[in-house]
Structures are given as structure tokens and as C-alpha cells.
Structure 1
Amino acid sequence: MDKNSPILFSRRGALALVTLNLPRALNALNLDMIKLLDRQLQDWAEDDSVACVWVEGSGDKGLCAGGDVVSLYKGSNAYGEAPRIDYASEFFSHEYRLDYRIHTYAKPIVVWGGGIVMGGGVGIMAGASHRIVTERTRMAMPEVTIGLFPDVGGSWFLNRMPGRIGLFLGLTGAQFNGADALFAGLADRLIADSERHTTLDAIAQLPFCATTDENRRLVSECLKGLELAAELQPLSNLRNHYEQIQALTDFASLPAVCDAIGGYKGDDEWLRRAAQTLAAGSPLTPWIVWEQLRRGRHRSLAEVLRMELILAVNLCASGHFHEGVRALLIDKDRSPRWQPASFREISAEEVERCFVAPWAGAHPLADL
């Protein structure tokens, strides 16, 4: 394959390798990358010579900073016009189908999550059988800043975090580290960032066999032996702030939760940044987060992804998404002019419309 391709595939014996290859864009996922990876995973699933898959990002900045939201911005109409759902529907349908495949893949998938892992990158990582973080890992679901919502299965994995950590992370887009990911259930092992190639070599040399369960066990034991000693791992903000997060989210209504988080006046810089991000973010996103977690709590992964596809397509046609992307990535003035400006001005009807399928006929993910 062309080394300039946005995604690279290779083999080391029974180990198949995936490299997201857009380092200048922090390996952000575009539609072509998503389609290529999904097709390749299908092929490897049926290839008896492949026992395990390794996924990493090119360069030293991280695995993946998210999806290509600029293309979504350009492919959607402005708020108030007839929504153009075709590109957004195609993009997210393929992305969520890929995420579902990773979650349900029979063969072990090892994801190296060093550096930046955000948005769509979390989607790639969350469903893998073996998820590696490092002392340099920086994770987040920061969609509140651009008027989207924590998707790629966020309604599934945020709901499965301890206490109300998932709600807090979804509302605030707060960044968290590798130790946080372990605590929240989004990672399995924390290995020194410098051991990336050593880890890859060790897995490539495993005595893989024809039994999937045995191959998973081999990978698990290998990674266990490479884990960074506990005293050398970074401190977990989520663990250390667990009681505070519980207190800040211990309310029966979204306005009360937002007031509590936004009203934080303590000295902790991490909590202050979280409060500031929520305050500056889209006024619609908190309502979507609140509802997606409530509605997704007891749904299957497939049902969650079908709900999220509806949300993603509707929000891409909204003024909130367009203004958020404009301010952050197009004009880069970082001064979004949200309309309306306050989450208290968002009506229940506007939120409900976001959960209504925007297309006629069968759901694009009906077959999951």
C-alpha cells in the first residue's frame, strides 16, 4: 500500500497491523479511512492466517484526535435551511458500523492509545479487546465545544463508568489521562510510552494458534507482564475527584447539575477547566448528553448506535454544530455565538426533535 495513504495495513506473521496515517491532522478519521478499515477488518476476520490485530496512530502525537468534523461542516447546510442529511448519514453510518465491528470482533484487537485519543479515536479504542494507554495519554469526549455530543457509543460506555463519571465527562469534555481511563473502564493496561515497539514486537512473537480464546489469553498475559509499575503511573483525577464529581452531579435535573459544576469555586485547576468548558460550550449539548444517557441506559450497543446516528445527523444540520466548528476550526476565533446563548433557553421540543429520525424508510443501521 502507498505509504502516503491515510491508513496503512501490513502483516507481521499472524499479527495484522493498522496505522492511522494522517499525523498532521492528528490522525483524524475521514470517511475513506473508516471505509478502508472496516473492509480490512472484515477480510481479516475471515482470514485464518490472521490471529490478532494491532491498531496505532502514525507519529508521536497520538492515536486519533477524532473525526473529520470540517468535512461534516462543509457537507451540511446552515441552520434554518432544509437539512442535508446525506453526507452526515453516510459518514456516521460507516463510523458506527466500524465501531460495532470492533466491539464484536472475534479475534483480539490491541489498540495502542498513547498521546491524544479523543472523540472518534475513543470510538476506535473503546470496543477493542485489549486497550493500552500510557503516561502520555490524553483522552476526552470534547463534543460540547462544537455542538455535537459524545457519540461513537458514548451512550454505552459513559453509562458504564463508575458512579456519574460518564455524565460529568460528557457534559464538560474534561480531559483525562491513562490512569483515569483504567479507572473509568476505557483501558486495560498502562504501559510506558517508550515501550511501544517493544510491546508490538512481543505480541508479534506470540505463539498464536487457531483458537481465538487462547489467542486472547496469550495477548492478555503478554501485556500484563509489560505494565508500568503502579508507583510510576500518573495520578488519576477521576479517582481522586470521585466524591466531588458525585456531589456535583447529585441532582435530579440538568439545570441543577450544570449550576453545581459551573458554580465550582475551589482551587482545583482540573475541576475549574471542566466548569469553564461546560460554560463556554454549546447550550444544546448538555441536554443531549442528559437525554442520551437516560435513554441509552438499558439499551443494547446496537440500539445505542442507532439512536446516536439519529442524533448525529440531526445535530450536524443544526446551527449549534455549525457555529461550534466555525469558531474552533474554521475562523478559529474561539468565540462561538450560540443561538440561543443559554441552556435554559433550549426548549424540550427542540431536544425531542433531535431524537426523531430525519430520513424516511429503514434505519441505515437496522441490520446491526
Structure 2
Amino acid sequence: MDQLKMGDGPILFSRRGALATATLNLPKALNALNLDMIESLSAQLDQWADDDSVAAVWIDGSGDKAFCAGGDVVALYRGSTGYEELRRGETPDYTFTTDFFSREYRLDYKIHTYKKPIVVWGGGIVMGGGIGIMAGASHRIVTETTRMAMPEITIGLFPDVGGSWFLNRMPGRTGLFLGLTGAQFNGSDALFAGMADRMLPDDRRETVLLELAGLEFFADCERNHRQVSDCLKRLQRPPAEQPQSNLRAHYDQIQQLTDHATLPAVCRAITAYDGEDKWLQKAAATLAGGSPLTPWIVWEQLKRGRHSSLAEVFRMELVLAVNLCASGHFREGVRALLIDKDRQPQWQPATLEEISGEQVERCFEAPWSGDNPLADLR
């Protein structure tokens, strides 16, 4: 079936019959999302929602290294506030970060609530903002190359893009563990955690596209959802051919490490791990070296978001994201990881115990006057 090209640039939009496709197209940047990409994809999804000739949507990433490695943190770094500005008493400028996160979360919410089937091919790296797009899709595909994580603790942010929603819905306390440690998880882990629906061979992407494009679609969205589900089930990788799930293998140990009534006790248990398991060693080291503010936010966001609606979650996370970008921690984390690349962030305060309850509470208080910019989400 011929592919009808609908444009080029950072996102490629195409049609294969009734199947509309969007390809994130910044492979050198691992398809990281910038504001233009967010706006472009959101507008195109609106058009396809109203187009009766479109029965289903496919979203993937250009190249074989990543679906999407996250958001444009360097742009957010430029629009954030550092420790020096805070010491001088300067008032943070919330304009860019409010605009960026509110548009990104609107896109994520739109995907969660989209009536037509959305299939996301999550091969390679899927982190941060990439998980935001993938988490809400009706049909989430992983492969043997999938590497997922919410590693915001390394940059003084928090697992956003709906993390308060999907981390709370993972088995046991695996969501808390992943949020605190930023641990990477593979496609089998994603299936176990409810973050993916099918695992397919990474080299079969074009075959899967052709199969989906060749389906007999109908005017009934629910019927089309079933059509897509049946097709992907037929093509999926047998369980015997799937990689081992670290989350499943370490489930009991994760439960034990997180079985404490307070956040400091949980963090002490994880960082005190002295076994020989490389995956747990890395998770412990990442938590130990990460922002001391982020664990408090993770602990509170999961507690406060446990019974929240999806719209309430995104409103809460918008407040958190804007405030954390004005806390100094985010700017210091990005500086150490991506700007100066010394990997030696100088957190202020430097320890979990030095973070006050008042400081945490302020992160949950709206930094603007008037309504939350996502007040209209229902």
C-alpha cells in the first residue's frame, strides 16, 4: 500500500489507507520532544480525530536507537531557576516552564482519552516524555530492545507525564521503587508492570505496519480497537522468546526494601543494599547520588495521587513540574549531567534529612494566581 507523505521535519505524518502514522524524527537527539513537536503532534491528532477516513493511529520514532528519550531538558534548563538566582532573591519566571509542561500534559491527556486506536511502537529507549506518549496509548508495543525509565531523580525533577497515575497502578510497590531509583526496565518488565500490551520482534516493525494497514476497518471505534488488538496478539513474540523481567525476578526483594512506614527508612533500605545483583546495585547508587528533594516529591505524589482522576493528576503534576524547575535542583541536575557533564551535582540542601516539610509542601502549591492552566481537563 502506498504511503502518502503529509510533511517532513521533526515529525513525519503519513497515511497508509485508514491508518495514520506519526514518526518522531530527531534521531540524533533520540527523538526528544521539543515544544514544536508537542504542538504539531497534538494538532495532527485533533485533525485525525475528526477525519472519518482515519480509523487508527500509529506513532513511532525515527531510527533504531529510541522511540523517545524524553523532553527537551536543555530548553527547560534555560527557562529554569538556579541556586544563585534564588540566593539573590530573584523571583522565578514561570512562563516557559508553565507553557511547556501544560502543552505536554495536554498531549498526554489527549492520548489517554483518544477514541480511535493509537498504537505506539516503543522500541529502543523510551524515557520521560516518551513514556508520557506511550503510557496513554490504547496499544503499547515493546520489543527486545526496549529500555524504559523515569530517571528524573538524576536531574532534580520527578516522574511526571502521568507518573502519579501509572506508577500507582504497578504491582505492589514497584512504582515507588522505579520512581525513587530511576531504574531501567526492559520490555518484559513493561508487560509485567502494565506499561505495555504486546512484545513484538524489533525487526518486524514494517511488517506490523503493513498488517495493520491491511486490516478491514469500520466506522465503529470499538470494533476497530478489537481489530487492532487481535492483529497484534497474532504477531506477538512467544513468552519463551522474551527477555527476563527484572521487576518480576526482584519483586519480593523490592517489596521488602520498600516495606517501611517513612520515606527516609525506605531510602536507607534501598541505598544500603550490599548484594551482588548489578541491577539493584545501580538502582541503589542512582538513588544515593540523586536529588534529595525528588524522593520526597515521589513519596507525596504517589500518596496524593492514589485516588485522583487522570485530569487531577495532570493538574497536580503541572504545579510540581513548574515549582521544581524553580527550585534550583533541576538546573543543578541538568548542569551536572548534560551541560558541564561532571556528574557531580552539588545539591542544596545536600541530604534527604535537610529537606523540610515546608519545602516539600510549597512544591504542591500553585505558583500562579488564578486557575490552573489545565483546569478545563475533565
Q: TM-score band, normalised by the shorter chain?
A: over 0.9
2:62 to 58, 63, 73: 58
**Matching residue's letter, 1:33:** M
Q: Aligned ranges for residues 41-120 of structure 1 at < 5 Å?
A: 41-79=45-83, 80=86, 81-120=90-129
**Matching residue's letter, 1:46:** D
**1:280 partnered with 2:313:** no
Which string of whole-angstrom CA distances, capped at 9 and with x for unpartnered residues, describes residues 173-202 of structure 1?
000000000000000000010111111110
Instruction: For 1:73 and 1:62, locate their aligned partners in 2 and report how far apart those are by CA, in whole Å.
Output: 22
The alpha-carbon deviation at position 78 of structure 1 amounts to 2.3
Instruction: For 2:328 and 2:322, locate their aligned partners in 1 and report how far apart those are by CA, in whole Å.
Output: 13
Instruction: For 1:65 and 1:82, locate their aligned partners in 2 and report how far apart those are by CA, in whole Å.
Output: 31
The alpha-carbon deviation at position 349 of structure 1 amounts to 0.5
2:325 to 316, 333, 340: 316
Instruction: For 1:226 and 1:333, locate their aligned partners in 2 and report how far apart those are by CA, in whole Å.
Output: 45
Which string of whole-angstrom CA distances, capped at 9 and with x for unpartnered residues, describes residues 243-274 of structure 1?
00000000000000000000001110000000
Over aligned residues, Cα RMSD in angstroms? 0.7
User: Could you say what secondary structure the match of 2:342 adopts?
Assistant: coil
**Matching residue's letter, 1:281:** G
The alpha-carbon deviation at position 318 of structure 1 amounts to 1.4
**1:294 partnered with 2:303:** yes
Q: Which residues of structure 1 form unaligned runs of 5+? A: none
**Matching residue's letter, 2:133:** I
Which string of whole-angstrom CA distances, capped at 9 and with x for unpartnered residues, describes residues 152-177 of structure 1?
00000000000000000000000000
User: Could you say what secondary structure the match of 2:185 adopts?
Assistant: coil
TM superposition score normalised by structure 1: 0.99
Instruction: For 1:91 and 1:180, locate their aligned partners in 2 and report how far apart those are by CA, in whole Å.
Output: 30
The alpha-carbon deviation at position 76 of structure 1 amounts to 2.2
Instruction: For 2:12 and 2:329, locate their aligned partners in 1 and report how far apart those are by CA, in whole Å.
Output: 35
The alpha-carbon deviation at position 2 of structure 1 amounts to 4.7
2:140 to 131, 143, 155: 131
User: Could you say what secondary structure the match of 1:225 adopts?
Assistant: helix
Instruction: For 1:93 and 1:190, locate their aligned partners in 2 and report how far apart those are by CA, in whole Å.
Output: 31
Instruction: For 1:144 and 1:223, locate their aligned partners in 2 and report how far apart those are by CA, in whole Å.
Output: 34
**Matching residue's letter, 1:53:** V
**1:356 partnered with 2:360:** no
Q: Tell me the number of residue pairs that the alignment of Structure 1 and Structure 2 aligns.
A: 367
The alpha-carbon deviation at position 319 of structure 1 amounts to 1.0
**1:242 partnered with 2:246:** no
Partner of 1:155: 164
Q: Which residues of structure 2 form unaligned runs of 5+? A: 1-5
Instruction: For 2:340 and 2:276, locate their aligned partners in 1 and report how far apart those are by CA, in whole Å.
Output: 33
1:198 to 198, 207, 232: 207
Partner of 1:167: 176
TM superposition score normalised by structure 2: 0.96
2:262 to 253, 256, 264: 253
Q: Aligned ranges for residues 4-43 of structure 1 at < 5 Å?
A: 5-43=9-47
